Structure 1
Amino acid sequence: MNEHLDVLIVGAGLSGIGAAYRIGHDRPDRRWAIFEARDSIGGTWDLFRYPGIRSDSDMTTLGFPFHPWRGEKTIADGADILAYLRDTARTFGIDRHIRLRHRVVAADWSSADARWTVRYEVDGVSAQLTCRFLFLCAGYYDYAHGHAPEWPDMGVFSGRIVHPQAWPGDLSVTGRRVVVIGSGATAVTLVPALVAQGAAHVTMLQRSPTFIVAMPARDRLGAALHRVLPTRLADTLTRWKSIAYGIGSYTLARRRPALVKRQIAKQQRAALGEGYDLANHLTPNYNPWDQRLCLVPDGDLFAVLRDGRATIVTDTIDRFTPDGIHLTSGDILPADVIVTATGLRLKLMGGTTLSIDGRLIEPHRHLVYKGAMLSDVPNMAFSTGYTNASWTLRSDLSARFVARLLDHKDATGATVATPVPDAGEQATTPLLDLNSGYIQRVAEWLPRQGKRVPWRVQQNYVRDALTMRGRLDDGVLRFR
């Protein structure tokens, strides 16, 4: 006989652990489990091992509100974040519900039985179970492979080529010339970290610039609040201070992009000096938050650029050579190690194949309800984060919403909940609405937003919180 669960959570990273707390904490009557495909928990923070790996948003909001981050750094190292996640799972007994090496392959909803049949693999052996509700918290990218473009003559390069997503443990850069291809968060993290590891010189090779902003690694105001206020109050005020700052800075950037561009350039000029070529290397041809901003704690990237241990080159690759990279401009970048920090491959919902009564669900043909469910798909939710703020802010809203939904169903005797759009509701932008390359490569396959709430993600935590906490029987979410 197949096992039957009330809720199956897929993924034991930030989203999955947060979801488990919301739906399972203090609910001994609810049968639930987390399936994690890998052999350890932590998601992103266990997978990535490249030098300098760190959070790309402040930990007061990336951390869980029910288990606040208490580390000194607000831009934290990957190892510290992983330790925090493991501590959270252990503290709340979540780790006892996690089943490692359980890779979910497919799930089919039976309308007649009002349940999902989930096919999964354990160490290569196929199995299945059923569940009343499916909560996909497996992140947004392919854990097995990063985005890896091919350039001419890569095979002739005599040095080593590595991708950050598969960083080799035996790689030493001491005394070596390193070229990092890319200009996103991974690249700007790697450059100062490789300098610190003793690289002879590090070059960041980019096709086009990214907005890069320095941020203090430690939150002085938050630390002051914790010195004078009770811990719980200080945690709450520090978190809301960070939320308010994020909303305010994003709103200002969208409404007055020219002003924010000038502010960013002023900060960069102060860090790099009057002679640095900001226009060519640090001034994108788009507005702030058309793509995600890159944060550098305490300006560490600017420091190594200023003292000459690192360089930014803005150009395109013509071909690889035995000793480096030949650029379209004719210049040659000498290299002993080349790092292809070229981004992620999007893979929503853990790559699980979903169907209803045997009919394939194609996410791009569905609207997103409250950023957490797909139109016309019953008893299924998924977790995503914000594009303009920390992942956890949005994923925790989704987890709270799912917990309320499950409680409502239990209290009313409903077995099925399905968001159903009006006939006039039209699809507009993709769920992830940025012009970043990793999103644009798959934008046509992403679920769509509608024109109005609740079919629209507002990129504003306060507005989304009000939407998520609104009435469940809103006429859109249909119960039976």
Structure 2
Amino acid sequence: MTSLDPHAVANGWLEAFQSAATAADVEALVDLFLPTGWLRDLLCFQWDMKSLGGHDNLKAYLSEKVDDRTRLARAGLYDVRIQPTSTLGPPVAFPLPSDPTKKGVQGAFEFGLTSPPAVGRGFFRVVQNPNGAWKALTVFLTLEDIKGHEEPRGRPLGLFPDLSTYDEVKAKELAAIDQDPTVLIIGGGQTGMMSAARLRKLGIRALVIDKNPTLAHVWRNRYPNLTTQTTAHHCSMAYQPWPTTYPKYIGKDKVADFLEFYAKAQDLRIWLSSTVDGVPLYDEEKKRWQVTVKRDGQKVYLEPKHIILAVGSGPANLPKVEGMSDFAGSVYHSDDHRGAAPFAGKRVVVVGSGNAGHDLCTDFVAKGASSVTMVQRSPTCVVSANTVDKAVFEVTFNEKYAIEDADFLGNSMPPGLGMKMAAGGGTARLKAMDKDLFDGLTKAGYQLTWEVTPGGGEVGFLGYLLARMAAGTMLDRGGGKLIIDGKVKVKNGEIVRFENDGVIFDDGSQAGADVVVYATGYLPLVENIKTIFGESITERIGTQMEGLDEGGEMRKGYRPTGQPGFWIVMGPFPYGRFFSKHLALQILAEELGLSSAGHSKL
């Protein structure tokens, strides 16, 4: 190829895409994809999230009958055009991973929808097939706004016709939320707050309750050297990115300070020291929950239409091991680690080889523990911060992109295809960048893996992030060097018994210890769900909340759960920031009566 005009390629393909969509011609539209091409649909063809690949799957999905019309016909895509106003810029050429000498074209576009009456945004990646025709490798479609109920994007005036002050208007708004919240959000961490902020922007009354006495309590009370695991831009809050004066990796107290301010700046209604009292009941006729909240010792009865569970994960996983009560030292979960200074000169054993385990080992080394041993129970997926910066953050989450555009670009790759591409060579390229680190860790006895499931392919860090919310990974920012230099010893295996002054491992070896910390993560989220809603709710929502469906979408997060009016939010900052919008749109659609068989709940 001697020359390539990305704009011309984009216009030509989008014109064909619109023609097929307008004619509701499933065959013609699917023919615009490679035989192995993928579609990611977030709320455009149904009130749910769907990723699927291959002509047969695309045809089956788009031709499925809804109200006597195909799904494609019912949605009624129209006015498909290149998006001119985006920090991502115009369509551009990109090198094909399989052959960098060949180019594809990618870019953002926008479109209208008839049902629901809405506007959407899309992203395409097209490549040439053997015959020279441009075909889609991926197409991403996401709902942006429901017409007549658009999210306000400009700065509000702050002046009111009845001459009220801003504080007076806000007081009325908060009082209305207290009296009759449409949505009750259980959990006031960053994900619960962002969900509330999204709903407020759409004019939906959302009340947040949190069991803790102060905002950002969980961040404030974690171990001293905790920081955001990824870059500041990647960890931005919805509507309110971190100030540019903040460091790249933000310390826990600075995060907590900002979250306290965020609640005020976004005018969120949050009840602290508040818990659900008794089991919430869903009234099928009223389509409302019956919930009693204990707030500062007083019981308050509420009837919200929706409940969002925003507690993050299940309870802390602290294994029960023989002889633990006989141990003369300290044993606790990483959630209860308040700093290593009291253990200077002590023998330390940290169980767990992921991010929390490395943070704790680093803290103990820094504060002068006499020895630090990391117990690695299974191989860990490792990638260095420098490599992730070069491969992800400097590319997709570069600060030249508005965070909304970075999220859009970052989510434009169907997750199932992303993992296939990682297993097909992407992970190998990242591994090569970290060869020295991996060689050193392996020599020190630290076991590595890039497979989420044995034999499932090296999906690497991306696969662990998608499938396990990054559990089982270590984003190395210096902890690896402590292992390589021998300042942290690695022991493979499990602790099977405690003795008075040490532990016994499953291979019969032993180690002296004065403190044992379990950085062993958390139990499944369903344990918290059953505690709040009772065992019977699992008859509708199942028992597995985490993980992925067949297309690589989250199994339950930010999408229909099976229980009307019940939603779950989960995951790190980027998940809460991006998908909270889609959750808010689904709730708005229900409030407007737009949900129907064609946009059905699972």
TM-score normalised by L of structure 1: 0.70
Q: Distance in 2 between matches of 1:91 and 1:223?
A: 27
Q: Distance in 2 between matches of 1:3 and 1:393?
A: 32
Matched residue, 1:282: 448
Matched residue, 2:188: 12
Counterpart secondary structure, 2:195: helix
Supply the AA of the counterpart residue of 1:259.
A
| Deviation (angstroms), 1:254 | 3.2
Counterpart secondary structure, 1:313: strand
Asked whether the equivalents of residues 42 and 85 of structure 1 are also in contact (C-alpha less than 8 Å), the reply is yes
Change in Cα spacing, 1:264 to 1:217, as seen in structure 2 (3 Å) is closer
Q: Distance in 2 between matches of 1:121 and 1:241?
A: 42
Counterpart secondary structure, 1:475: helix
| Deviation (angstroms), 1:355 | 8.1
Aligned ranges for residues 265-414 of structure 1 at < 5 Å?
266-269=435-438, 272=440, 276-277=443-444, 281-283=447-449, 286=454, 287=458, 288=460, 289=463, 292=470, 294-298=473-477, 300-348=478-526, 351=530, 353-354=532-533, 362-364=540-542, 371-374=557-560, 376-385=562-571, 391-410=572-591, 412=592, 414=593
Supply the AA of the counterpart residue of 1:395.
G
Aligned ranges for residues 13-412 of structure 1 at < 5 Å?
13-25=189-201, 27=203, 30-42=204-216, 44-47=218-221, 49-70=222-243, 72-94=246-268, 97-105=269-277, 106-142=279-315, 146-168=316-338, 172-216=342-386, 233=401, 235=403, 250=419, 252-256=421-425, 259=428, 262-263=431-432, 266-269=435-438, 272=440, 276-277=443-444, 281-283=447-449, 286=454, 287=458, 288=460, 289=463, 292=470, 294-298=473-477, 300-348=478-526, 351=530, 353-354=532-533, 362-364=540-542, 371-374=557-560, 376-385=562-571, 391-410=572-591, 412=592
TM-score normalised by L of structure 2: 0.57
Asked whether the equivalents of residues 204 and 312 of structure 1 are also in contact (C-alpha less than 8 Å), the reply is yes
| Deviation (angstroms), 1:375 | 5.2
Asked whether the equivalents of residues 177 and 201 of structure 1 are also in contact (C-alpha less than 8 Å), the reply is yes
Structure 1: 5+ residue runs without aligned partners? 386-390, 418-471
| Deviation (angstroms), 1:40 | 1.9
Q: Distance in 1 between matches of 2:533 and 2:346?
A: 47
Matched residue, 2:133: none
Aligned ranges for residues 439-450 of structure 1 at < 5 Å?
none
Structure 2: 5+ residue runs without aligned partners? 1-177, 546-553
Matched residue, 1:422: none
Q: Distance in 1 between matches of 2:412 and 2:586?
A: 28
Counterpart secondary structure, 1:16: helix
Asked whether the equivalents of residues 222 and 234 of structure 1 are also in contact (C-alpha less than 8 Å), the reply is no
Larger radius of gyration: 2
Counterpart secondary structure, 2:209: strand
| Deviation (angstroms), 1:114 | 2.6
Greater mean deviation of Cα atoms: 162-171 or 305-314: 162-171
**Structure with more contact order per residue of length (Cα contacts < 8 Å, sep ≥ 6):** 1
Q: Distance in 2 between matches of 1:257 and 1:221?
A: 10
| Deviation (angstroms), 1:237 | 6.4
Task: Figure out how many residues of one structure are paired with residues of the other and give that number.
Answer: 398
Q: Distance in 2 between matches of 1:261 and 1:397?
A: 26
Matched residue, 1:438: none
Q: Distance in 1 between matches of 2:434 and 2:186?
A: 42
Supply the AA of the counterpart residue of 1:56.
Q
* RMSD after superposition: 4.0
Asked whether the equivalents of residues 187 and 208 of structure 2 are also in contact (C-alpha less than 8 Å), the reply is yes
Counterpart secondary structure, 1:33: strand
